[in-house]
Amino acid sequence: MTLLQHIREQKPLIYHLTNEVTKYDCAQVTRAIGALPVMTHPSEAAQMAQIASALVLNIGTLSWGFIDGCIAAGKVANERGIPIVLDAVGCGATSMRNEAMLRLLTDLDIAILKGNAGEIASISGANAEVRGVESIGKIDQIDQLAQVVARQFGCVVVVSGVVDIITDGKIVTQHHGGHPVMGQVVGTGCTLASALGCFVAGQLPPFGAAQECLEYYTKCAENAAKSTTQPMEWKALFYDTLAA
């Protein structure tokens, strides 16, 4: 049985405390993959986390109350052995985001940390330009910076980009896939975090789950782009391709 088949048979509950901009898309992608999505207000985060199979945290639209909810849910997840995916959306853009990300990484045991090159470079302490939630410019030696972050916080780091990077601090793999149209659609990074949550809830450890997830996610993106590269048409077809 493949990991995707396992997900569709077991239907794990993927609990999201996530970006308000892309919340619907994250739910839809989770369901297309075959898992069950749930999103709540942070006030019930700790209780909802008790029944989850994976927890996805995304700081895209944050407040300190939101971060408190993430910490509460994350501590429950850690106590119960529930894997956490943390999406570092916009880290490096403001001091608040930097402080929030450091708190989450310090207070919680994260299974997979995901971000673009600028976000991961910012977490490592290197100079990076992040405008809003987008990484601007080229980041030199991002594979080495990702390794530093993975070792420092004891997690698997996934750097999304033209070439995706996965590292546990020792092993580094590169994944070539996807399609340029993904950069024209808001939320494809957020929905990748949801996909990672689905896969890490399966049978494999975080490193293997991330590899399987990226292979599936980017192949579906490529297949959808064979029919259309119009951004909104592609988005709908991408979701159908994930489900198919």
Q: What is the pLDDT of residues 1-52, one digit of tens each?
A: 689 999 999 999 999 999 999 999 999 999 999 999 999 999 999 999 999 9
Mean predicted confidence (pLDDT) in 142-165: 95
Q: Specify the CATH class of 3-243 in words.
A: alpha beta
Rounded Cα distance, 193 and 114, in Å? 7
218 and 52 in contact (C-beta within 8 Å)? no
For residue 226, the tally of other CB atoms under 10 A from its CB is 10
**What pLDDT is recorded for position 204?**
85
pTM of the model: 0.93
Element (H, E) at 153: helix 142-153
Domain ranges of the chain: 3-243
**What pLDDT is recorded for position 134?**
47
pLDDT at 130 over 60: no
How far apart, in Å, do the first and last CA atoms of the chain sit?
Answer: 17
For residue 92, the tally of other CB atoms under 10 A from its CB is 25
**What pLDDT is recorded for position 52?**
97
Residues 138, 141, 143, 145: is their CA dihedral positive or negative?
Answer: negative
Rounded Cα distance, 18 and 39, in Å? 8
The percent of residues in the chain predicted with pLDDT above 70, rounded, is 94
Q: What is the pLDDT of residues 53-94, one digit of tens each?
A: 999 999 999 999 999 999 999 999 999 999 999 999 999 989
**What pLDDT is recorded for position 203?**
76
- Residue with the two structure tokens 């994944």: 175
Residue 188: pLDDT band by 50, 70, 90 thresholds?
A: very high
**What pLDDT is recorded for position 129?**
55
Phi then psi dihedrals of residue 125, to 5 deg:
100, 0
pLDDT at 206 over 50: yes
**What pLDDT is recorded for position 139?**
67
Rounded Cα distance, 125 and 145, in Å? 9
In terms of Cα–Cα distance, which of 12, 59, 63, 3 is closest to 35? 12
Mean pLDDT across the chain, nearest whole number? 93
Q: What is the pLDDT of residues 227-236, one digit of tens each?
A: 999 999 999 9
pLDDT at 136 over 70: no
pLDDT at 244 over 60: yes
| Burial of 134 from C-beta contacts in 10 A (0-12 / 13-18 / 19+) | middle
pLDDT at 166 over 50: yes
Mean predicted confidence (pLDDT) in 98-115: 97
